[in-house]
């Protein structure tokens, strides 16, 4: 029982005594919240630095006004809209959020060390340190989101690009959730990019990937799992080992890049009221943030070791949705594409087939978009003519009559029959003598008939035409 009471007391103390008043007035915004090179939380102004020491602030005034003068000459306010702090293994820097001016702490003073300009080319980029050099991935500038990495080269005092050998390049973005791993990989989640509907708006991305800083290649990890709604941040998130922490008003999200999962910790009894226009930092396994979105601002912190306690409810999900095997799907898509192309090709051929030839079926002859009805005898004649270059007079006589008429009478009936067909073909094609009388090529004594226009072809449906070899 005593242990339980002690735990409750410690928990209450952690919640109620974590607020520390800031050493600047609430109306003042031209300062940076930072973690110094000696792991001290600081408030940096253009005149000096406030350093947190045992819940109180020590003030260290700059030895000269040179830093203030440099900031004035750059011409933008000294706030988190324009600058941020970043530490390497040995040094502490203040850098323009777009990758321009760079200041280095030298004793009790910041001195400018670059030869760049305020170009604002990578605003909202993901800052990280690799090989003791400051890097930026992505960011927004000159009306586009960037898809590359730059780094500050102290030898030339300029920002240079990290060239890659990657076939896969993720689309440009800013405000990404990122982490640099011990095995030389930059992990990136989400972030914002230009909306596909309007360049005036941005939208959150739903992909995850990493950049291998050794191989200089991007590697796609897949789509972010559906439950994750927090897909962007203004600042690089604080991390411990392979885990980054994002503080929100109703929860703390832990991104575990080692297991590629994230956990949301919620305390339903307390709202954090974080002001996300400021960065967050981890000191002694506690995460510190500035709270007071619409009121007086204080420095708050939460002990990360208490997140697994009963005061918090937690939910864990994979960062990336499980990848499906798309090989069969891709094969099916390719096959459908081939079939679709084949059908379109057949459709054009079918249209040419209809327009260019005399087609017939049981009831009519068709030419282009017109048709004329035919009798059964005419259909038999046309069918026979479609299979042969010539039809002899005796063959036609068998079609038009089964009786033994005299030769002169059969000739008269045959002439009328051919005349009726030519009349119909004239109405259809405009040709007065579509079927003409000639001599049989094998026996000049026998009359024969042929067509002097395109050969007759049986009309077939589009479905039959498609599958006709």
pLDDT of residue 288: 96
Residue 138 CB neighbours (<10 A): 27
Please compute Rg for the chain using Cα positions: 42
pTM: 0.67
pLDDT of residue 397: 85
Alpha-carbon torsion 416, 422, 427, 428, what sign? Answer: positive
pLDDT of residue 2: 40
Q: Where are the alpha helices (DSSP H) in 269-357?
A: 327-356
pLDDT of residue 10: 41
pLDDT of residue 222: 93
Strand order in the sheet with 391-392: 391-392, 443-451, 435-440
CA distance 74 to 356: 77
Sequential DSSP letters for 248-264: -SS-EEEEETTTTEEEE
pLDDT of residue 171: 93
Pick from 217, 220, 221, 219: nearest CA to 164: 217
CA distance 327 to 340: 20
pLDDT of residue 223: 93
Give me the average pLDDT of each 10-residue run along the chain (469 residues): 41 53 83 92 95 92 95 94 93 94 94 94 94 95 92 95 94 94 95 68 87 96 87 92 92 94 87 90 94 83 87 89 69 81 66 66 81 86 82 84 78 85 82 81 83 69 61
pLDDT of residue 93: 97
């Amino acid at each position: 029982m005593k242990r339980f009471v002690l735990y409750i007391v410690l928990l209450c103390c952690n919640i109620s005594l974590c607020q520390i008043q800031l050493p600047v007035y609430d109306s003042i915004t031209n300062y940076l919240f930072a973690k110094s090179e000696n792991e001290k939380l600081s408030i940096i102004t253009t005149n000096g630095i406030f350093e947190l020491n045992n819940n109180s602030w020590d003030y260290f005034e700059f030895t000269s006004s040179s830093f203030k003068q440099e900031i004035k000459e750059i011409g933008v306010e000294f706030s988190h809209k324009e600058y941020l702090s970043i530490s390497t293994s040995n040094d502490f820097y203040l850098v323009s959020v777009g990758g321009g001016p760079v200041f280095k702490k030298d004793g009790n003073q910041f001195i400018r060390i670059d030869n760049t300009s305020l170009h604002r080319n990578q605003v909202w980029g993901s800052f990280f340190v690799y090989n003791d050099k400051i890097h930026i991935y992505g960011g927004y500038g000159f009306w586009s989101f960037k898809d590359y990495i730059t780094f500050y080269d102290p030898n030339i005092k300029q920002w240079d690009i990290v060239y890659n050998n990657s076939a896969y390049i993720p689309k440009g973005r800013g405000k990404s959730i990122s982490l640099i791993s011990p095995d030389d990989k930059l992990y990136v989640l989400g972030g914002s990019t230009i909306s596909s509907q309007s360049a005036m708006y941005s939208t959150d991305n739903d992909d995850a990937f990493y950049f291998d800083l050794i191989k200089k290649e991007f590697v796609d990890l897949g789509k972010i799992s559906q439950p994750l709604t927090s897909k962007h941040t203004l600042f690089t998130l604080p991390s411990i080992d392979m885990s980054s922490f994002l503080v929100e008003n109703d929860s703390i999200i832990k991104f575990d890049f080692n297991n590629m999962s994230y956990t949301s910790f919620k305390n339903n009894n307390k709202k954090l009221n974080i002001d996300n226009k400021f960065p967050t930092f981890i000191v002694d396994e506690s995460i510190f943030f500035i709270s007071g979105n619409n009121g007086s601002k204080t420095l708050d912190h939460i002990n990360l070791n208490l997140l697994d306690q009963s005061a918090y409810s937690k939910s864990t999900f994979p960062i990336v949705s499980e990848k499906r095997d798309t090989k069969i799907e891709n094969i099916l898509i390719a096959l459908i594409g081939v079939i679709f192309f084949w059908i379109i090709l057949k459709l054009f051929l079918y249209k040419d087939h209809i327009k260019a030839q005399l087609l017939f079926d049981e009831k009519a002859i068709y030419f282009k978009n017109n048709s004329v009805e035919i009798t059964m005898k005419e259909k038999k004649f046309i069918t026979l003519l479609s299979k042969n270059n010539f039809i002899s007079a005796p063959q036609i006589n068998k079609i038009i009559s089964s009786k033994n008429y005299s030769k002169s009478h059969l000739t008269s009936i045959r002439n009328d029959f051919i005349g009726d067909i030519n009349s119909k073909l004239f109405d259809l094609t405009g040709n007065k003598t579509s079927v003409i009388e000639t001599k049989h090529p094998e026996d000049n004594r026998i009359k024969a008939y042929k067509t002097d226009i395109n050969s007759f072809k049986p009309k077939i449906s589009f479905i039959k035409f498609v599958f006709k070899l």
